[in-house]
Amino acid sequence: MFPSSRYFTGVTIIAEAINEANHSPRLTSQARNIIMNVYHYFRHQDERESEIDVELRTASATGISARSLHRIKRQHQCGEIKSPPSRTRIASVMGSVDDFDKDCIRREVLSFYERGELPTVDTLLERVTQVVAELTFGEEYTSEDGASLRDELTISRPSPSPSLVSHTSVSANDSSPSTNFKISSNRKRKESAKDKDIDNSLNALSDYFAKKDQLENLLLPWAS
């Protein structure tokens, strides 16, 4: 015995409901009234035509699903055809985190798996707070502590040595392109060597500072 047409209609409605969940049309009240006018036109065009065929023709002509048409018909019968509420986009928690901070968070999460632990927001926050306290202040970290430490690190960065300044003045007076290139390359290497230790320290501290407050919102205030 073959399934009835009602069975196939039910299967079609279920399939359309799944597709509609991912591609739900946004129909205003004006568009819904137009759809009902199209439905009434097909309905009065042939009174002997089945309701299913009329609905399928209406859905095909208006470009909506049969399930959407059923919902609009119910609203029309109740006299409550209204525009749907506007969708509000919820801001992502990670929206203000840049690629460096995301990489820091990934490395900290990876460390949980390396220790055979399951990372959660609470345990990650506790871990970051503990490590920052051990590295810096020996107590719970606050945003004021981060601001003061950041200022100290910035002030403690050494200025270029007099030899580098003299190299710069020589390069400005020397008209030879090859000499300018050599002096510029030497200056960059010396600046890189002098700043290497400080940059490594800043990066190591940033691995932990980048997550405190934003893990109540997953990020420190100064990193946003």
169-222: per-residue pLDDT in tens?
Answer: 444 444 455 555 555 666 666 666 555 655 555 565 565 555 555 555 554 444
For residues 13 and 61, membership in a common domain is answered with yes
pLDDT reading at 113 higher than 70: yes
Domains held by the chain: number: 2
Confidence of residue 4 (pLDDT cuts 50, 70, 90): very low
For residues 151 and 207, membership in a common domain is answered with yes
Query: Quick check: is 90 in a domain?
Result: no
For residues 36 and 106, membership in a common domain is answered with no
Query: Quick check: is 86 in a domain?
Result: no
Query: Could you report the per-residue pLDDT of 36-58, keeping only the tens digit for each?
Result: 888 888 888 888 888 888 888 88
According to the model, what pLDDT value does residue 60 have? 87
For residues 117 and 219, membership in a common domain is answered with yes
Cβ neighbors of 127 (< 8 A, separation 6 or more) are: 108, 112
Query: Quick check: is 213 in a domain?
Result: yes
Distances (CA, A) of 145 to 30, 207, 209: 58, 16, 10
According to the model, what pLDDT value does residue 36 have? 87
Query: Quick check: is 159 in a domain?
Result: yes
Beta strands in 146-206 (DSSP E): none
- pTM listed for this prediction: 0.31
Query: Quick check: is 32 in a domain?
Result: yes
For residue 10, the domain's CATH number is: 1.10.10
Cβ neighbors of 100 (< 8 A, separation 6 or more) are: 206, 210
For residues 107 and 71, membership in a common domain is answered with no
According to the model, what pLDDT value does residue 209 have? 57
For residues 111 and 215, membership in a common domain is answered with yes
Average pLDDT in the 125-143 region? 61
- Range of 119's domain? 99-223
Query: Quick check: is 93 in a domain?
Result: no
For residues 125 and 184, membership in a common domain is answered with yes
According to the model, what pLDDT value does residue 176 have? 53
- Given a contact cutoff of 8 angstroms between Cβ atoms, the answer to whether 214 and 224 are in contact is yes
For residues 111 and 181, membership in a common domain is answered with yes
For residues 67 and 134, membership in a common domain is answered with no
Taking the chain, what is the end-to-end CA distance rounded to the nearest angstrom? 67
For residues 113 and 194, membership in a common domain is answered with yes
For residues 120 and 182, membership in a common domain is answered with yes
Query: Quick check: is 85 in a domain?
Result: no
pLDDT reading at 95 higher than 70: no
For residues 68 and 117, membership in a common domain is answered with no
Mean pLDDT of the chain: 65
Query: Quick check: is 141 in a domain?
Result: yes
According to the model, what pLDDT value does residue 171 have? 45
